[in-house]
Amino acid sequence: MPAPIYKGTFPVVISEATKYFDRGKIEFVRTQVYIRTSVVTGDIGSANSLQIDGKTLSLTSINVNTKDGLSEVTQTFSGGDSSAPEVYEVVATCSEEPISTHPAFTVSTGIYDELSIVDAAGSANVNFDESNVFISFAKTAENNFFGVSSYLSPQVQYRRIYSTGIEPTITETGNVGYIFDNPEGYPPTIGSGRTWLQVSVVIKNNGNQKTGSGQFEITEEYRGSGINGWNPYIYPTA
C-alpha cells in the first residue's frame, strides 16, 4: 500500500476533536503530520496550554508515530470548567452488626414494639458471661430469637461531587474522620440524633498536574451514623 499523500505546508493538521465530559471536563485532541526531522511539541506538565470555549486546557499526552520520513503526532489537552454544577449521590445499604450492639438490645427505644430485645426474648433466655457480655439466646427464647447473633444495620452514604479551578489544599482534605451535623450540599435527612462522618475525599486533576492548574474534580463522602450519632469522644467535630 503506498504511503498517504499530505497536501499543504507541514505540519499538516489531519484531525481535531473536542470531547465534553460530565462534571466539567473538556478534552481536545489534535493530530498533525510533520517531516520527521522537524517535529515540534510542547512539554507535558508545562504551562503549554490552549483555550477551548474560554476554558484553559493543558497538554497532558503526546503520541508520535514515525514512518517513511514523516511523523504523525497526536497531542491531547485536558482541562475544564470549574463552574460545573455540583452532583449529589446517596447510597442506602445494610451491614451486618453483632446483635448486642443494637440500640434496643437492653433498653427500649420506643421504636421496636416498646420492648428491648432482651425483654422480647425473655431475660431468663439470654445468656451472658461472668462479665455480663452477651453470649447467645437459649433455645427457649421467645419471639424466634434462638440462633440470632447479628442484625442488618441500615447505612446511608452521601457523596458531594464538585469542580474547582483552584488547586485543593488542606481545606478540602483536612476534615476526613470528622463529625458533621449537616455536610455541604443536599444530604438526605437521616433523623434526629444521627450525624455524619466524613470518611473520604478523592481529588482528580483533569488538567496540568505539575503546575497545579486546570480543572479539579472533588468527591467528598460521608457515612450516616446510628440513632445515637457518632461518638464525639472517638471522632472530633468539624
The more confident residue out of 117 and 49 is 117
The model's confidence at residue 91, banded by pLDDT at 50, 70 and 90, is very high
Tell me what the mean pLDDT of segment 217-224 comes to.
94
pLDDT at 140: 96
Per-residue model confidence as pLDDT tens digits over 97-124: 999 988 889 988 776 678 899 999 999 9
The model's confidence at residue 228, banded by pLDDT at 50, 70 and 90, is confident
Cβ–Cβ under 8 Å, residues 15 and 32: no
Q: 31-40, 104-113, 115-124, 187-196: which range is least confident on average?
A: 104-113
The model's confidence at residue 93, banded by pLDDT at 50, 70 and 90, is very high
CA R_g for the chain? 29
DSSP letter string, 167-180: ---HHHHTTTT-EE
The more confident residue out of 155 and 205 is 155
Q: Using the predicted structure, report yes or no on whether residue 37 has a pLDDT greater than 90.
A: no
DSSP 237: B
Share of the chain above pLDDT 70, in %: 86
Q: Using the predicted structure, report yes or no on whether residue 7 has a pLDDT greater than 70.
A: no
Q: How far apart are CA 230 and CA 189, in angstroms?
A: 16
pLDDT at 212: 52
φ and ψ at 155, to 5 degrees? -130, 135
- The CA distances from residue 103 to 20, 24, 157, 158, in Å, are 48, 43, 20, 23
The model's confidence at residue 213, banded by pLDDT at 50, 70 and 90, is low
Residues 6 or more apart in contact with residue 165 via CB below 8 angstroms: 82, 213, 214, 215, 216
Report the mean per-residue pLDDT for the chain. 85
pLDDT at 1: 46
